[in-house]
């Protein structure tokens, strides 16, 4: 397999983890490159269901190195809980000790980051982003404001102490006077950091530079994306986005590699669309179709349990995702969820409700999205169970027509089709 990045191509939850898990079989080194425990990644392997948030799902295989790259943000106590959960499902702690690595350059999500995220969400009322309240935005804010705490800082008490003398007075003023929240003493923070150091110590890869050239020369690399292009900090529905770059471009930076390390970018799309949190979603269906998609698709968040908003496939935003996400091929998931729909819609343009103008490009200013409604093309459904199909030829004719239509519009090949949550329920197209 070529070095491959798996990118969510819609608003997250496209089924990336299932695709990553399948591709991981062919990889030696699997790395997350952005995001934190805001992600909720489900893998169903041999009938067992695993929920990942930070840990690359490649940990389900023996002898594959799984890394959290420099571009990730880590809440060590959440990570510890996740490791314990996965261990309780039968993955040995030895495998974690041998195969799970953390970049010393990744940033730490501190308690004050989750305090601020929670406060903002609870107080912004109708202007809230609908975040996962995992402290993601505030952690990346400090990273880019050059006042974050990195994993490596936890292992240098003197440097950490000096850093805190600079960071903490500022952070406490912010907590007290901007957010009306409780300040932290230096002692509190040192205690928190000591706990985090102990949790992370077995996994931090201080020799990552030494190992990297061997990985680049001799290993097959899989970059595991979280979130999705439409949640990208630059290209998503800003400000209703996450705070990192989940695109193929983001992968190289977040995994400490050059762009030449990536040879293939698989964009994962659901056969319809979902979104959790606030922000525009032009094809959102508030009628029976949306409810039916949510029920059949089991569309409830892995991380927060929130019901996902549902709607039809938006080919305009999908084309934009292919472009800015740097996608070279498509994995289409949850095609089976459409099995019982008589008609299936694809948005092929947007109509300006005020002027009647039809546009076929993605308007990047999210505040204008309320002016647009989707223009749909309707495909006939196949009204049969496809969950047992294992080859393209076995798919019903109308399902093939739906796939052809998507390929035509997106100008990109669909190479993987998922017809159920299990590893086996997958069709590969050469």
Catalytic (active-site) positions: 13, 41
Indicate the residue whose CB is closest to ligand IMO.
Answer: 277
Mark 275-294 with x for binding to ligand IMO (rule: CB under 6 A) and - for no binding.
-xx-----------------
Name the minimum Å distance from CB 12 to ligand IMO.
2
Taking the C-alpha atoms of residue 270 and residue 287, their distance in angstroms, rounded to an integer, is 19
* Residue 136 interacts with, from Mg ion, ligand GDP, ligand IMO, none (CB under 5-8 Å by kind): ligand IMO
Which residues between 12 and 41 bind Mg ion (CB under 5 A)? 13, 40
**CA-closest candidate to residue 118, choices 182, 191, 195, 184:** 182
Which tokens sit at 356? 């009647």
Give the long-range contacts of residues 290-299, CB within 8 A, separation 24 or more.
Answer: 292/340, 292/341, 293/337, 296/337, 296/340, 297/270, 297/272, 297/334, 297/337, 299/13, 299/274
Sign of the C-alpha dihedral, residues 414, 420, 423, 425? negative
131 binds, among Mg ion, ligand IMO, ligand GDP, none (CB under 5 to 8 A by kind): ligand IMO
What does 290 bind: ligand GDP, ligand IMO, Mg ion, none (CB cut-off 5 to 8 Å by kind)? none
Cα three-residue angle 104-34-105, rounded to 5 degrees: 15
The answer to whether residues 286 and 349 touch, using CB atoms and an 8 Å cutoff, is no
Asked whether the beta carbons of 160 and 186 are under 8 A apart, the reply is no
Q: Read off the tokens for 375.
A: 């223009």
Nearer to ligand GDP, 256 or 333 (CB): 333
What is the C-alpha to C-alpha distance for residues 162 and 201, in angstroms, rounded to an integer? 21
> Least Å distance between CB 284 and ligand GDP?
18
Q: Is 273 a binder of ligand IMO (CB under 6 A)?
A: no
- Name the nearest CA neighbour of 131 among 16, 233, 7: 233
- Closest distance to Mg ion from the beta carbon of 21 (Å): 13
Q: Are strands 4-8 and 358-359 parallel, antiparallel or unpaired?
A: unpaired
- Judged by beta carbon distances under 5 to 8 A according to partner kind, the member of Mg ion, ligand GDP, ligand IMO, none in contact with residue 276 is ligand IMO
**Centroid of chain to Cα 356:** 35
Residue pair 390/420 in contact by the 8 Å Cβ criterion: no
Chain residues that interact with ligand GDP, rule: CB under 6 A: 8, 12-18, 40-42, 44, 298, 302, 333-334, 336-337, 418-421
Tell me the three state secondary structure of residue 213.
Answer: helix
Of 138-197, which residues contact ligand IMO (CB under 6 A)?
Answer: none
Query: Distance of CA 178 to CAs 141, 142, 172, 185, 198, Å?
Result: 15, 15, 10, 18, 32
Q: Who's near 14: CB < 8 A, 6+ residues apart?
A: 8, 228, 268, 269, 270, 333
Note whether 9 binds ligand IMO by CB under 6 A: no
Q: Is 78 in the site for Mg ion (CB under 5 A)?
A: no
Per-residue binding letters, 38-67, with ligand IMO (x by CB under 6 A): xxxx--------------------------
Task: Tell whether residue 76 is a contact of ligand IMO (CB under 6 A).
Answer: no
x/- track of binding to ligand IMO for residues 223-262 (CB under 6 A)? ---xxx--x--------x-xx-------------------
Q: Residue 421 binds which entry of ligand GDP, Mg ion, ligand IMO, none, with Cβ cut-offs from 5 to 8 Å by kind?
A: ligand GDP
Burial of 270 by CB count in 10 Å (0-12 exposed, 13-18 middle, 19+ buried)? Answer: buried
Q: Which is nearer to ligand IMO, 305 or 411 (CB)?
A: 305
Which of 57, 114, 132, 285 lies at the binding interface for ligand IMO (CB under 6 A)?
Answer: 132
Q: Is 136 in the site for ligand IMO (CB under 6 A)?
A: yes
Q: How many residues bind ligand IMO (CB under 6 A)?
A: 24
Residue 118 in contact with ligand IMO, rule: CB under 6 A: no
Q: Which residues bind ligand IMO (CB under 6 A)?
A: 8, 11-13, 38-41, 129-132, 134, 136-137, 226-228, 231, 240, 242-243, 276-277
């Amino acid at each position: 397999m070529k070095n491959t990045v798996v990118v969510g191509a819609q608003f997250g939850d496209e089924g990336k983890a299932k695709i990553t898990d399948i591709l991981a079989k062919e990889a030696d080194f699997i790395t997350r490159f952005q995001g934190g425990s805001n992600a909720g990644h489900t893998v169903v392997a041999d009938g067992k269901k695993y929920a990942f948030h930070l840990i690359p799902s490649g940990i389900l295989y023996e002898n594959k190195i799984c890394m959290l790259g420099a571009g990730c943000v880590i809440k060590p106590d959440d990570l510890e809980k996740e490791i314990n959960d996965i261990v309780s499902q039968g993955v040995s702690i030895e495998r974690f000790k041998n195969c799970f690595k953390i970049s010393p350059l990744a940033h730490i999500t501190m308690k004050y980051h989750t305090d601020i995220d929670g406060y903002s969400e609870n107080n912004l009322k109708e202007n809230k982003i609908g975040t996962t309240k995992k402290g993601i935005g505030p952690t990346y804010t400090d990273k880019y404001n050059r006042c974050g705490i990195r994993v490596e800082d936890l292992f240098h008490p003197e440097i950490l102490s000096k850093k805190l003398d600079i960071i903490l007075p500022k952070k406490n003023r912010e907590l007290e006077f901007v957010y009306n929240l409780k300040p932290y003493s230096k002692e509190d923070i040192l205690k928190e950091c000591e706990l985090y150091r102990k949790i992370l110590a077995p996994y931090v890869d201080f020799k990552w530079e030494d190992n990297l050239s061997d990985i680049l020369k001799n290993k097959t690399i899989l970059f595991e994306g979280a979130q999705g292009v439409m949640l990208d900090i630059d290209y998503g529905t800003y400000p209703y986005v996450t705070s990192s770059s989940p695109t193929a471009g983001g992968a190289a930076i977040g995994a400490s590699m050059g762009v030449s390390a990536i040879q293939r970018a698989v964009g994962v799309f659901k056969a319809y669309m979902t979104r959790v949190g606030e922000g525009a979603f032009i094809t959102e269906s508030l009628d029976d179709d949306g409810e039916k998609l949510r029920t059949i698709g089991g569309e409830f968040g892995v991380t927060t349990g929130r019901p996902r908003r549902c709607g039809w496939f938006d080919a305009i935003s999908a084309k934009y995702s292919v472009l800015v996400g740097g996608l070279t091929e498509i994995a289409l998931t949850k095609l089976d969820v459409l099995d019982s729909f008589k008609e299936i819609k694809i948005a092929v343009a947007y109509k300006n409700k005020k002027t009647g103008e039809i546009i076929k490009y993605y308007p990047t200013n999210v505040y204008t999205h309320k002016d647009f409604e989707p223009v749909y093309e309707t495909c006939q459904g196949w009204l049969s169970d496809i969950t047992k199909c294992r080859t393209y030829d076995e798919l019903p004719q109308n399902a093939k027509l739906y796939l052809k239509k998507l390929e035509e519009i997106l100008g990109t090949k669909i190479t993987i089709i998922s017809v159920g949550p299990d590893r086996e329920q997958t069709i590969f197209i050469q």
